[in-house]
Amino acid sequence: VVRRGGRALVLAVGPMLDPVLAATDGLDVTVAYTNTVRPLDLGALRDLAASDTVVLVEPYLSGTSTRLIDEALSDRPHRTLALGVSRAEQRRYGTPEQHDVLHGLDAAGLRRSLWEFLTGS
């Protein structure tokens, strides 16, 4: 656990920790980090997901690991947002930073997605 909060659990995978920390600055969310999503400590996930809201931010195709979270929390109501690389074909190439911006994985893009999910606006 990198930061404690009460409104949601944001799980950052691998290189997504720094942008997640920047995106969640000032938000009442728990930020947890794992260097790899598999194997996932399901017991710890259940303990950390005290609210009904979980956001998974991974550097892979969006939704790749959502099933693991949904199965771990299948006995209780919850909402999951999976953020990652979009499925749409991209024909733009550039720096890793430009790649992150294109897929909404930079701090500003993550903040926007988190805010919309948490507030419904």
Tokens of 19: 């942008």
All domains of the chain, ordered by start, with CATH?
A: 9-119 (3.40.50.920)
Share of the chain above pLDDT 70, in %: 100
List pLDDT tens digits, range 33-87: 999 888 889 899 999 998 899 999 999 999 999 999 999 999 999 999 999 999 8
Tokens of 80: 């999951």
- First and final CA of the chain: distance in angstroms? 28
Q: Record the pTM.
A: 0.94
**What is the DSSP annotation of 34-92?**
ES-SSS--HHHHHHH--SSEEEEEEEEETTTTHHHHHHHTTTS--EEEEEEE-SS----
